[in-house]
Amino acid sequence: MKIAIVGYRMEKKFSEGIVNDEDSELINYLSGKGLNVEAAIWNDKDVDWKKFDVAVIKAPWDYHNHLNEFLTWLDHIDQLGVKVLNPVDIIRWNSDKHYLKDILEKGLQVIPAQYLEKGAIFSEHFFDDFKTDKLVVKPCVSAGAQNTITVNRSNFADKLIEINQLVKEQDYMVQPFVEEIKNGEWSFLFFNGKYSHCVLKKPKEGDFRVQHYHGGSISYPTPDPLHIEQAGVFLKNLPLPTLYARVDGVIIHNSFHLMELELIEPFLFLNSNENLLENYYQALKALIF
């Protein structure tokens, strides 16, 4: 059985600040376990995808900038009979942040959101709808806080032109700004539905973005078992099992609230830890054999 570990053409802006080459470490570990694994770039025209039995969608970190091409490629390798992990239907659903509406409608704990469809006009009513003085506006297809804007009542007029210009290009999502993000965003990692580990990502002083390339910091606290359980609930509502899932959110009044469900290309924070690599290996083995 030949397995592709799928990545992207390296760009410094996505990898800057990451100490470990997680993909290489994972490939080396899986190879050491006897699996026939090979790195492959998803949009490399020279790759013969027919030679693979399994394609693990590991780090296509530029997919959001080429979404139609990416989804077409996924359908192509799926039609070739390659087993795709995570499943194509899951990835397609997760690629657009309208998926949060589906989760919210199930009554789960999610930061509320409304949507600005392409070409719509941003207005002040969102402040009243969410009973807040500060909002976050982000693209429905994006990653790494790309084109994410915070706006409050006092600077609304200054931000209006910028936001409306962005909405001319694609759909956007509007959410209340959650002050708890200043305490950090929790990421719970699950492999084949089983909890593995977690990290806490904190923004730098004066910022709200937790990504490392925006100056965010990372720690590895021991989470409350209650929050692990609450994070796991989001996976139980998926129609198909997933090899990997990163459940990102904040703690509000001692309860975990979802911000993002990362099912396409999350950094997994494996950090050369053999126990975590083993968790991944066991999950992969269970899904392909």
Q: Each residue's pLDDT tens digit in the chain (289 positions)?
A: 999 999 999 765 444 545 569 999 999 999 999 999 999 999 999 999 999 999 999 999 999 999 999 999 999 999 999 999 999 999 999 999 999 999 999 999 999 999 999 999 999 999 999 999 999 999 999 877 778 999 999 999 999 999 999 999 999 999 999 999 989 999 999 999 999 999 999 876 656 655 655 556 899 999 999 999 999 999 998 999 999 999 999 999 999 999 999 999 999 999 999 999 999 999 999 999 9
The predicted pLDDT at position 103 comes to 96
The verdict on 134 and 262 lying in the same domain is: no
- DSSP 8-class letter at 224: P
The verdict on 172 and 184 lying in the same domain is: no
Q: Kindly report the backbone phi and psi dihedral angles of residue 153, in degrees, each rounded to the nearest multiple of 5, phi listed first.
A: -60, -35
CATH number of the domain that 131 lies in?
3.30.1490
The verdict on 188 and 261 lying in the same domain is: yes
The verdict on 77 and 219 lying in the same domain is: no
The predicted pLDDT at position 203 comes to 76
Domain assignment of residue 281, yes or no: no
Domain assignment of residue 56, yes or no: yes
Give the global pTM: 0.93
The verdict on 188 and 103 lying in the same domain is: yes
Range of the domain at 170: 114-176
What value, to the nearest 5°, has the Cα angle with vertex 247 and ends 104 and 174? 45
Contact 15, 259 (CB under 8 A): no
Domain assignment of residue 276, yes or no: no
Look up tokens 């911000």; give the residue.
Answer: 259
The residues, any chain, with a CB within 8 Å of residue 73's CB and separated by 6 or more, are 42, 43
Among candidate residues 240, 238, 247, the one with its CA nearest the CA of residue 190? 247
The residues, any chain, with a CB within 8 Å of residue 20's CB and separated by 6 or more, are 270, 271, 272
Contact 208, 276 (CB under 8 A): no
